[in-house]
Amino acid sequence: MILSVSRRTDIPNYYSEWFYNRIKAGFVCVRNPMNVHQISRIDLSPQAVDCIVFWTKNPEPMMSRLDELASYKYYFQFTLTGYGKDIESGVPHKKEKMIPIFQKLSEKIGSRNVIWRYDPIIFTNKYTPEYHLRAFGQIAEALRGYTNQCVISFVDIYAKNKKVMEEIGAYSISEVMLEKFAGKLSQMAAANGMTVGSCAEKIDLFRCGIAHNCCIDKRLIEDIIGYKIAVGKDKNQRPACGCVESIDIGTYNTCKNGCKYCYANYSRDTVIKNCSRYDKASPLLCGMITEEDKVNERRVKSLKV
């Protein structure tokens, strides 16, 4: 099993104590977002978990306890962009705090195990292509030697974020301009010892030196864990997504990063309500099991061939 922690919320940043408690307990419960009274109980033993993929904008709260994961293999998808508080209100200052944290994490677990995400890329009157090129170049230079790979994507407009994107004046650029822009990102990354991959993008940027990326990447995982796994494409993701199957243990509407582009938070009031239910000892993230819930043991096992 590949464990995703988590596409739905920033567990390393806000719920690391809960996560470590679940590791100690050896299991976690996850509520089905499509059927709220259906809960899966998932085995978290090292024998069942082949690899853990962490997604975060700030892993600092969990970094002092990484030794507790000595029986597991893992890597981090670390989002580090050039946006300010107007777009990412809950993320600390990038140059003063987040870049040093990225460097510290890389020194602790190795550059292969920390993927830099510069995504999603949004173009506005403030965050122009030129702005992004300057920010990307500065961050890439600071992360030289601390990561081997960068992932980019361009913002997708959903019903849930369309209004916000209109409010901030987000706009698209032509495919020709996009390819030119992407090519410059690729060149800057290469100059700093990194390759660039795109995340769930329909456009082919191969000519720009950017391949389609798999964030939950079979080849990377096999390299990290040291054996082959039998796993297929994740059918629950967008068609353009190349990720392989995983089990996500997060909960929607629980992330406090406050990102304008977020697709995992539908309502600020719901986020506040859910976060008030956080109990580090609960088997569920931001919730408790009630008499109305049905808990089923989800059959999981190692994917080792």
Strand-strand pairing, 149-154 and 195-199? parallel
Residue 290 lies in a domain: yes
Instruction: Please tell me the distance from the alpha carbon of residue 200 to that of residue 203, in angstroms, as a whole number.
Output: 9
Instruction: Please tell me the distance from the alpha carbon of residue 181 to that of residue 14, in angstroms, as a whole number.
Output: 34
Residue 142 lies in a domain: yes
DSSP state of 252: S
Residue 302 lies in a domain: no
Cβ neighbours, 10 Å, residue 175 = 9
Q: The domain containing residue 41 runs over which residues?
A: 2-297
Residue 187 lies in a domain: yes
Residue 304 lies in a domain: no
pLDDT in tens, the chain (305 residues): 999 999 999 999 999 999 999 999 999 999 999 999 999 999 999 999 999 999 999 999 999 999 999 999 999 999 999 999 999 999 999 999 999 999 999 999 999 999 999 999 999 999 999 999 999 999 999 999 999 999 999 887 777 788 899 999 999 999 899 999 999 999 999 999 999 998 867 777 878 878 788 899 999 999 999 999 999 998 888 777 889 999 999 999 999 999 999 989 988 899 999 999 999 999 999 999 999 999 999 999 999 99
* pLDDT recorded at residue 159: 73
Contacts 24+ apart (CB under 8 A), 90-97: 90/256, 90/257, 90/258, 90/259, 91/57, 91/58, 91/257, 91/259, 92/58, 94/139, 95/138, 95/142
Domain count, the chain: 1
Tokens, residue 145: 């030697």
Considering the entire predicted model, what is its pTM?
0.95
Strands of 27-32's sheet in order across: 27-32, 35-43, 294-297
Residue 21 lies in a domain: yes
Residue 305 lies in a domain: no
Cβ neighbours, 10 Å, residue 110 = 14
Residue 54 lies in a domain: yes
Instruction: List beta partners, residue 38.
Output: 294
Compute the C-alpha angle 79/73/255, nearest 5°: 35
E-strand stretches of the chain: 2-5, 27-32, 35-43, 51-56, 74-79, 114-121, 149-154, 195-199, 210-213, 247-248, 294-297
Classify 86 as helix, strand or coil.
coil
* pLDDT recorded at residue 217: 93
* pLDDT recorded at residue 200: 67
- For residue 251, give the nearest of 1, 18, 31, 13 by alpha carbon: 31
Q: Can you say how many angstroms the Cα of residue 212 is from the centroid of all Cα atoms in its chain?
A: 17
Instruction: Please tell me the distance from the alpha carbon of residue 63 to that of residue 61, in angstroms, as a whole number.
Output: 6
